[in-house]
C-alpha cells in the first residue's frame, strides 16, 4: 500500500522562487505540492480550498504579510502547520510567528536536506529553526517576549521544579558543564534531565527547547551565562 503523500502549499510573491521550491520538493517521494500563492489573500483562499498539511509561507507578502496570514489562520482554526520562509529572520518576527502558531522558521537559501528535515520535524509536532546557536538569539528573544501582551497562557507540561530550573539555565546560554557546576550536579545528571525535558515537550535540540520555553512562558527570570 502506497503511503499518503504530504500536501504542501507554497506561498511566495516571487514566481521563480516558488517554481524552484516546487522542483526541489517534487524530487522527494512522499511530498506533493498542491498549489502556489503569490500574495497573502491568495494564500488564505488556497489554504481553505486545498487543505494542505504544510504551508511554506514567505514572511514578506503583498496584500497580507506572512504574520497577518498566520493571524488569520490561527483565528479560523484551519488545520495546517506552517514553516515561515525568510532571507534573514528578525528576532521579533521569529517570536511573533511562533506565537501565531508557526511551527518553524526556514531560511530561503537553506539546502534541500534542511528543507526536508524541517517539514518532517514540523509534521512530527516539533518546532524547527534553521541552525542557529542558542546564544546568538536568546537575549533578543527574551527582551521581546517580556513586552506586555506578548505571552501566551502559562502551562507546566508535567515539568518538575528542577527541570524548569534546567530549562531556565539553558535559555540563559549555559552549557551542560556550567549547569552541573551551578546546580551542584554531575554532567550525567544534567543530560538525564535534558532527555526527560525533551521527551515531555516534544523538542529535539536546545534551540527548539529555548523557543518552546519562550513561547509558553516557562522562564520567569533568566540569568544570562557569562561563560
pLDDT digits (tens, 9 = 90+) for 89-100: 665 677 778 778
Residue 219 has pLDDT above 90, yes or no: no
State in words which class domain 6-129 has. alpha beta
| % of residues, the chain, pLDDT over 90 | 41
For residue 14, is pLDDT > 90?
yes
Confidence check: pLDDT of 19 > 90: yes
Please say whether the beta carbons of 122 and 129 come within 8 A.
no
Instruction: Output the pLDDT for position 132.
Output: 47
Give pLDDT tens digits for 145-201: 555 555 555 567 889 999 999 988 887 778 889 899 999 999 999 999 999 999 998
Buried b (16+ CB within 10 A) or exposed e, 202-217: ebebbbbbbbbbbbbe
Stretch (H or E) spanning 61: none
Please tell me the distance from the alpha carbon of residue 158 to that of residue 223, in angstroms, as a whole number.
23
Other C-beta atoms closer than 10 Å to the C-beta of 133 total 10
For the chain, residues classed under CATH 3.40.50.2300 are 6-129
Model pLDDT, residue 41: 96
- Which residue shows C-alpha cell 507578502? 61
The strand order across the sheet containing 102-107 reads 31-37, 6-11, 54-58, 81-86, 102-107, 128-129
* Closest alpha carbon to 114 in 92, 132, 96: 132
What pLDDT does 204 receive? 76
Which pLDDT does position 71 carry in this prediction? 92
Q: What are the C-alpha distances in Å from 81 to residues 67, 69, 97, 102? A: 14, 12, 12, 7
- What is the CATH topology of the domain spanning 134-215? Arc Repressor Mutant, subunit A (1.10.10)
The predicted-structure confidence for 37-56, as pLDDT tens digits, reads as follows: 999 999 999 999 999 999 99
Q: How far apart are alpha carbons 88 and 28 in whole angstroms?
A: 26
CA torsion through residues 200, 204, 206, 211, sign = negative
Look at the block and give the residue holding cell 528578525. Answer: 90
Question: How is residue 193 annotated by DSSP?
Answer: H
Residue ranges matching CATH 1.10.10.10 in the chain = 134-215
pTM greater than 0.75 (yes/no): no
Amino acid at each position: 500500500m502506497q503511503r499518503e503523500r504530504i500536501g504542501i502549499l507554497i506561498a511566495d510573491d516571487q514566481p521563480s522562487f516558488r517554481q524552484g521550491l516546487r522542483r526541489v520538493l517534487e524530487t522527494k517521494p512522499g511530498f506533493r505540492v498542491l498549489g502556489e500563492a503569490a500574495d497573502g489573500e491568495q494564500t488564505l483562499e488556497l489554504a481553505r480550498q486545498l487543505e494542505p498539511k504544510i504551508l511554506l509561507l514567505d514572511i514578506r507578502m503583498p496584500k497580507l504579510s506572512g504574520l497577518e496570514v498566520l493571524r488569520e489562520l490561527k483565528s479560523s482554526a484551519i488545520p495546517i502547520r506552517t514553516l515561515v520562509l525568510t532571507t534573514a529572520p528578525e528576532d521579533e518576527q521569529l517570536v511573533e510567528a511562533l506565537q501565531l502558531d508557526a511551527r518553524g522558521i526556514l531560511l530561503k537559501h537553506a539546502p534541500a536536506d534542511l528543507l526536508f528535515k524541517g517539514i518532517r520535524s514540523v509534521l512530527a509536532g516539533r518546532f524547527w529553526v534553521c541552525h542557529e546557536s542558542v546564544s546568538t538569539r536568546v537575549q533578543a528573544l527574551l527582551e521581546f517576549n517580556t513586552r506586555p501582551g506578548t505571552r501566551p497562557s502559562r502551562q507546566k507540561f508535567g515539568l518538575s521544579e528542577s527541570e524548569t530550573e534546567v530549562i531556565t539555565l539553558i535559555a540563559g546560554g549555559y552549557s551542560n558543564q556550567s549547569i552541573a557546576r551551578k546546580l551542584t550536579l554531575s554532567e550525567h545528571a544534567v543530560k538525564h534531565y535534558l532527555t526527560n525535558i525533551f521527551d515531555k515537550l516534544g523538542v529535539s535540540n536546545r534551540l527548539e527547547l529555548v523557543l518552546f520555553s519562550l513561547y509558553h512562558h516557562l522562564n520567569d527570570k533568566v540569568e544570562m551565562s557569562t561563560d
